[in-house]
Structure formats: C-alpha cells, structure tokens
Structure 1
Amino acid sequence: MRKLSTLVFVSLIAGLPAAVNAHDVTAKSDPKVPAAFDITRATATTDGRLATFTMEVTGKAGSQKPKKVGKLQGSKVDAYVWPTKLDPSAAGFGKGSGILALAITAHPDFDDTPLYDENGDGDPNNDGAGWHSHWVVLVDDKACGGGLKVRDISPGQDILPATAPGLPIALDSPGMSSILKGKTVKITVPVLGAESINFDAVAAKLQVHAEGKSPLLCVTGTYKVASGNLSLPGVIMKKNK
C-alpha cells in the first residue's frame, strides 16, 4: 500500500507551482489497484459560486467499501479525496490550519452526518455505510501509517463550520450530495475563490484509533494518488457557459 510522506506534506504547505497547462490530473490504469479506486482522471471546474469535482476510475465507482468491525474504535474508512490548496477558512475552518480536502467516504460502523438522512429511512443516525461527503482538514502526523491525519481539534476552542458533526476532528458534514455512477465519482459544492486553485485526486484508507485517542482518524495509506506524488498538479478551471 502506498504511503504519504512527511516531505510531501511539507511541499503542500509550502505551495508548489502549478504545472504548465496541467488542468486535469491523469494517470495510467494500474492492475495492482482495486478497480473501484484505480483513478485514471480527475477534473474540477467552478462558475465562481459552485465548484464541481470529478474522478474517473477503471471499475465501478463506490463498489468497494470497508468491512464492518462493530464499533467506532478501530473502524475503517474508504474515501475518494480531492486535496486542494484552498485555505481551510474557505470551508469554515481556521485559517492556515492545514490542507483543505473534499472527501466522499463510506464507513459502516458510525454515522458522522447527524443532520441528514442519506438513505431516506427516517433515521438520520444510521447512514455511515453509504457514500457521503465531507470537508476535512489534513495535517502531518508521523504516528499515522500514511503520514497524515484529519486534524484533531478541541470543540469550543477551534474554529469549525456550523454543520460540523461534533467529533473532535476538523470535519464538516454539510450534506452535499455525491454522485457515484458507472466509472465516475462527482460532487458539486458551494465554495468561493476556487478558480485557478490547485488540486489532486486520491483514493485513500483511513482508520479510527483503536482506543479513541489522538490521532483519532489517521490516513493509513492510499489505494492510488492520481498525480503519483501528491504534487497537486490539477487546476480548478472556470466553467464555460
């Protein structure tokens, strides 16, 4: 399994220039990667108010999910993630607090979208197993197998969006609907200032700490990084009318 290095994280924070004419992120198919996470292309556009992020894989998007372990502690998360160079304040987190990433996740052992009933069964507290969206802030942590974690926070002290679900991590659950159809993963989100911002695409594995301690939610590894090195070569382009 691929790992994300501390050097990569430092490069992200320092800010790398966009590659010339690198608007989309493309990758060759890799037979060693599960087809549901074998990213071949990622794009992002904005009309100034809404931004649309897409990912294309070789298999059926969303067809693979983590196995249930029966409790929050030690549970696993699969995710399609777009790390960006947007400042976290664009999504309501503290300014300069880490890497702002948009994620579509599935985790059958807990529900972190308490305001929404994604499966439409009348119970808003049993939806974690279905694919759903989040904004997250990622930071470096050598204790995590992938070198990154969702930032641990102190509720009531750290700046969080109004729709944060109450977990002690920099995670927002604003209820943005994701679309997983055929080979495509797609989501449209309200965000200002996205034009010309760099991004990448990652299929990642995460895990909750076995004892519920910090780091609470680690990136344990990746199925695939579209750029190959998390250099964020993609550019969010202005949408043509």
Structure 2
Amino acid sequence: MSAFPTIKFQNGVKMPIIGLGTWQSTDDDVRRAVEVAIAEAHYPLIDTAEGYQNEEIIYNVLHKLIEEGKIKRDGIFITTKLWTNNLNPDRSLCAARECLRKLKLEKVDLLLCHMPAAYDVTGTEPERGVTVEDVWRGMEAIYEAGLARAIGVSNWSVEQIERVMKTAKVPIHNVQNELHLHWPQHELAEACKKHGISITSYGSLGSPGRVDFTLPNGQKLDWAEAPCALNEPKVKELAEKYKKSPAQVLL
C-alpha cells in the first residue's frame, strides 16, 4: 500500500485516508482521471460502484498500469458498492461476484451497500419486508465468503446504523456518507466513534454536480436548491489567506 496515511478498521484492514471518487464520470473522463490519479498523483484509493457503471473501465486502467509496472495490485485500495436492486440478501452474494468479475479481482478491499433500502430487481419498487438488518446479513455473507476484505454502508442514518450494530455478527467497518461544510453530520460522527466505525466523506466540496445525476434505471432526481460551498465568503477568504484554492480549504 502507498505511503499515504491510513486508518485501521476494526478487523485490522488499513484504508488510505484519501482517494478518487468516480461518480458521474463519463467513460473517457474516468479512464483519464484514474490513470492520472494513480500513475501521476499517486492516489492510493479508487472509489467506484455498481451504480456508477464504470467498474470495467476502471479495471482496464488498473490492468494497464499493473502491466506497465507502474503499480502493484496491493498498492491500490479499491472500494465498490452494491446498488439497491442487489441488496436483498438472496441476491447480494451473486451481485458481489459480478462486481468482482467486472473488476477482475478475487476480492475487493471495501464493499459497501450503496443505500439502506433494498429494491426489486428492476430497481424501481422497494422490496417489502427486507429490513436494514436483512441487508446487513447479506453483506456479512459476502465478507464470510472472502469476497471483501472489509464491509460497510453508505447513505445510512444514525438510527439504521444503531439497529444493525445491535445484531451484527460482523461490525460495520466503514460508513460513507455525504459530509461537507453545509452538512457536517456531527451526530453521525459521534455514533460511529462510539462503535469504532470509520467514516468516509463524499461530496466534500458540497457536491455541486449532484443535480446532473441520473439513477441506473434512468430516473433523474429533483434536488432542492442549496448554497455552493466553493463560493462561501469565508472559504474564499481562507483560500486567499493561505494561498490555496477554495477546494483545498474545503478538503
């Protein structure tokens, strides 16, 4: 693994503290971004997801860089996520194997369930009777099968995390949630600290591009208007003071 600082999960797995997210990247964008991030900027972590529909492209870049001797497989941490239509525990194990097939990996470093709610195979209707406890049971089966070095959740509330931690055989190793200047998530941070769960922040710049997001089933979400963290006067003031960009200040 790279020389970047790491955090240690409860099971001993170490995750680099910085990585490249690939949400909403087009094929060409993600191909170039991943290559630059790994080969030139030496990013130690790449974050993808079943719902991003770019796992195979990311594999192609990784394979190319490994063949060229620029990285080794154990020098890069891969996070991916199962989408809502594969969170029913009856389907999640097969879905995890499909993610690994696309990434051409024997196991992923961190596997997350992308949302708390399980949907039907079409991803359009919630699966009645499938609880967050059931969803986590499916994640535990993936972990016990050796398909992921660590498992966690994304976009879960404090209440959902607390429910699962009461019955979990394998604790939640990592929580990935939107977390930024306008949504600091202090309650979530305290809950995770209590349970020894690490947090990954996404949307750290305020996620201005979220309004362009389209779900895998083609649905486009209607987002409420929100201020842009990059344009906050105090952020700009600090950026000028420290000779950094507003994005660097927010990170």
For the criterion TM > 0.5, the same-fold answer is no
Higher Cα Rg: structure 1 or 2? 2
**TM-score of the superposition, structure 1-length normalised?**
0.27
Q: Which structure's residues are more often helix, by fraction?
A: 2
Q: RCO greater where, 1 or 2, for CA within 8 Å and sep 6 or more?
A: 1
